[in-house]
Copies of this chain bind each other. A is one copy, B any other.
Amino acid sequence: MRWTKYFLPTSKEPPKDAEIVSHKLMSRAGMIDKISSGVYTYFPFGYRALKKVERIVREEMDRTGAVEFLMPALQPASLWKESGRLDEMGEEMIRFTDRHKRLMLFGPTHEEIVTDTVRKNINSWKQLPITLYQIQTKFRDEMRPRFGVVRAREFLMKDAYSFDRDEKGLEESYQKMRVAYTRIFKRCGLDCSIQQADSGVIGGKFSEEFVAKGECPELEVGHIFKLGTKYSESMKTFFIDSSGKEAPAVMGCYGIGVSRIVPAIIEGNNDDRGIVWPLSVAPFSVLLVPVNLENAAISGVGEKLYGALIDNGIDALYDDRDISAGMKFSDGDLIGIPLWAVIGKKFTEKGKIEIKIRKENRFVEVGVENATDWIIDYINKEKRCTTL
């Protein structure tokens, strides 16, 4: 991607309402833009990070054997009456009366819909176990939105629902998810602790929270629940077990705040100059910095290196803006791309590319002809380290 063809507006000043470092840096690095209280646009650079996180979540869900689908955000209130939760949910749930006078709502969670799906389509023990998941935008009218996209009114969530024949099956499904969650957060560069938690309006007998520690504030990024038969009993989701008797499906549910992972990563990966992306979730792997585009040798090598990286499937951002080297460096630090390839003084003097490793703040000099291979090797090594 060429910076001049991209939309990446950086700024020096954080927004006035920003209290935590991730909110400040996400705004300054042109990742998000506030539209209303707790409502944000993801600018392209921020959306790339979100998509990388989403991909890790999807890969690890698929690895467990969970099956992806998509339920609607719009839901009829009637299903929530059936589960008994319509009155339990407070003002956080967005409700409206549609043009045909039916009460509708925007589901802050989806136990009702998925339970309805299973009761309509599964009737034998042979069809169990099954775990279904979705990655979907959710809406909650938060009393006090804050911390940027951390506590927002519109956010991206992964929610999974397991249906088992019995408690033993639930235990297995639950443990699979617990392992998957550990892998997801580790791959994203998050250091999480697992804490027993209150199950709240979701319900069930037991739940655990995954809390990202990068120092203050602590961020809840995942929450997994053993629901038992709460929903299958109230919504009559029974199947015929192997002995021919009717039994309620035994459920679990498992949430990840996908859009919350991005600020959690930044909370734990920054310095006084900006973001320090882990390679696994960085919007781009490589930043190309030609210090002076008017120098034909520099811009020529820049174009060549950019082309070579793209041809090798490396996502590179080429800073082709007509601005000073100093501004390029300070923007580079702010947006925090893991590897930089600087084409400047060392190049004109002795034909070397200076590769900066952002997290170590270290420069390595590499001959022009070896730069692409060096970068590919570095990226592959890092990938091997973070692949579990």
Contacts and interface: CB of A to CB of B under 8 A. Distances in A.
B39 A75 contact: yes
Given A7-B132, A91-B99, A47 B70 contact: yes
Interface residues of A, number: 50
B117 A41 contact: yes
Contacts of A42: 69-71
SS class, residues of chain A in contact with chain B: mixed
A284 to B, nearest CB: 13
Given A33-B117, A117-B33, A72 B39 contact: yes
Interface string A218-256: 000000000000000000000000000000000000000
A7 B143 contact: no
A141 B39 contact: no
B36 A74 contact: yes
Interface in A146-191: 153-154
A99 to B, nearest CB: 5
Contacts of A120: 33
A139 interface: yes
Interface in A292-312: none
Nearest to A8: B67
18 contacts: A5-B130, A7-B121, A33-B117, A36-B72, A36-B74, A36-B102, A41-B72, A42-B69, A43-B69, A44-B69, A44-B132, A47-B68, A47-B69, A72-B154, A73-B139, A74-B139, A91-B99, A96-B96
Given A7-B132, A37-B100, 6 more contacts: A33-B117, A46-B69, A47-B69, A50-B70, A96-B96, A99-B141
